[in-house]
Amino acid sequence: MFPPFTLRYARLPERFYAHVEPVPVREPHLVAFNRPLAEALGFELSAFDAEEAAVWFSGNVVPRGAEPLAQAYAGHQFGGFVPQLGDGRAVLLGEVTDRDGRLRDIQLKGAGRTPFSRGGDGRSPLGPVLREYLVSEAMHALGVPTTRALAAVTTGERVMRGIPEPGAILTRVASSHIRVGTFQYFAARGDIDGVRELAGHVIERHYPALESRQGGERYLGLLEAVQARQAALIAKWMGVGFIHGVMNTDNTSVSGETIDYGPCAFMEQYDPKMVFSSIDEGGRYAYSNQPWIAQWNLARLAETLLPLIDDDSERAVERATELLQRFPEQYEREWLAVMRAKLGLVSEKPGDKALIEALLAAMHRGRADFTLTFRRLANVAESAAAEAALVELFERPEEIAGWLEEWRERLAQEEQGENERVQRMRRANPAFIPRNHRVQQALTAAMDENDYGPFETLLEIITHPFDDQPGREEYLRPAEPTERVFRTFCGT
């Protein structure tokens, strides 16, 4: 069933990981399977059997050629450094080469205790597994770089998270699971050779254009490449109103993918200070802070690479600092590109930033829904008759009315035709997102009633986010006051 494994990470020195077998579960049952992703990965599906698949994706049987391991890493968690974290409930089976020639990790999340579990049970409740499945697949459909969900299996066992909850295992696919915290793990131990070997592995796997560089330029180039991908990634998060919730360095992938969906959520009413994570009491990872936290995390990566960038520590700091100081400009460039597309703008004009910020300010004061505002703006670009539906989203309609005049004046400076503009805007502004109350309804039905119908319906809808989907208009609307979800939880 599985394609051949290549085991690149397992061939690194053994201090990079711990060999560990998934802990068998009592009664595995396949509740979700991503067939298109499986086909893209090269799985043999001609004789697919759900019961057999449950055995594989639970870890009860290890696929031929896999060498299961738990990766070692450290990390800053809410600003405090923890020198050893690691995969406490995840097992990397190995890497496969997909049909496009890309190397992809396959990992079982919730597969039992590992040497990095730190007293935990290594398991996952069903709720967080289904949440990650839904949100990661929605992000992929939205065009945001992300880990993917391949399968979800219930275990037939209960896990204790205050109360007994049904257990589950997620099969996750990623370009890799290497984090900023992976570099920190070796740097914290003074293991410069480990940092160097890890950097070489990352360059070979994710940034092969750097292979020809020599000496410190090679590692400075790595920092520059990771920084560029983080700037682009966070700009895309901001463009869809996504709040990660726990942007710790151990949750920051060096490949530039969104990883570790815990207390994540999509914003409804626009508020730059919005926080959903139940543990983020100080708002460190609020929506508007995400770009600057990304820069802070990149600075932590830079610290690990300093001895490789230059033997002269002062010169190394100077060169890394100069690079990191470019991040705000890089991010703003990426963000402006995302937001111009959402407004139907192709050319770049000096007043665009002010125009975008004026709309966001009006949305904030008017308590307007983030996703619907931009989607209905695309409708207004097609027909002035759609303006009333946009204005009704605002508690202070006069503000958006004035802004629309400025926007139309700016559109008049564009050369693209109306039809092209409307199509571009609809490809940049989703109609459907995994709204928090809909996600919670799907999870509750699955956990409390063993009913996966709401989960399957929601998954179908959010993986076609730019389509109008007649008959599913109820999934467009924000939560009613009694339905609102203000806090989300890791659940681990």
Place of tokens 């480990």: 194
The three-state secondary structure class of 77 is: strand
236 is in an annotated binding site: no
- Token pair 């998270």 is found at 161
d(CA 130, CA 126): 6
Q: Measured between alpha carbons, how far is 47 from 269 in angstroms, rounded to an integer?
A: 47
| Residue 89 annotated as lining a ligand binding site | yes
Query: What distance in Å separates the CA atoms of residue 195 and residue 307, rounded to the nearest whole number?
Result: 9
Is 250 designated active site? yes
109 assigned to a ligand binding site: yes
DSSP H or E stretch at residue 158: strand 148-161
Catalytic residue among 105, 250, 280, 369: 250
**Binding site annotation covers 189?**
no
Burial of residue 87 (number of CB atoms within 10 Å: 0-12, 13-18, 19+): buried
Amino acid type, 382: E
> Is the distance from CB of 245 to CB of 278 less than 8 angstroms?
no
The CA–CA distances, whole Å, from 353 to 236, 399, 406 equal 16, 18, 13
Could you tell me where the beta strands, DSSP code E, fall in 235-345? 242-243, 265-266
DSSP line for 417-469: -HHHHHHHHHHHS-S----HHHHHHHHHHHHHH---HHHHHHHHHHTSTTS--
As given in the structure block, the two tokens for residue 89 are 């409930």
| CA 20 from centre of chain | 26
One-letter identity of residue 96: V
Query: Residue 369, annotated ligand binder?
Result: no
Structural contact between residues 109 and 71, judged by C-beta atoms closer than 8 angstroms:
no
Cβ pair 380, 408 in contact under 8 A: no
Which two structure tokens, joined as six digits, stand for 287? 């929506």
User: Any known ligand binding at 88?
Assistant: yes
Give one word for 42, left, alpha or beta, with left for phi > 0 and alpha for psi -120 to 50: left
| Structure tokens belonging to residue 470 | 């007649």
Considering only CA atoms, which of 172, 171, 174, 177 is closest in space to residue 28? 171
CA distance 327 to 291: 9
Residue 172 marked as a ligand binder:
yes
Contacts of 367 (CB under 8 A, 6+ apart): 269, 270, 394, 395
CA 469 to chain centre: 25
**Is 310 annotated to bind ligand?**
no
Q: Catalytic residue positions?
A: 250
- Annotated binding-site residues for ATP read 86, 88-89, 109, 121-122, 172, 179, 260
- Annotated binding-site residues for Mg(2+) read 251, 260
- Annotated binding-site residues read 86, 88-89, 109, 121-122, 172, 179, 251, 260
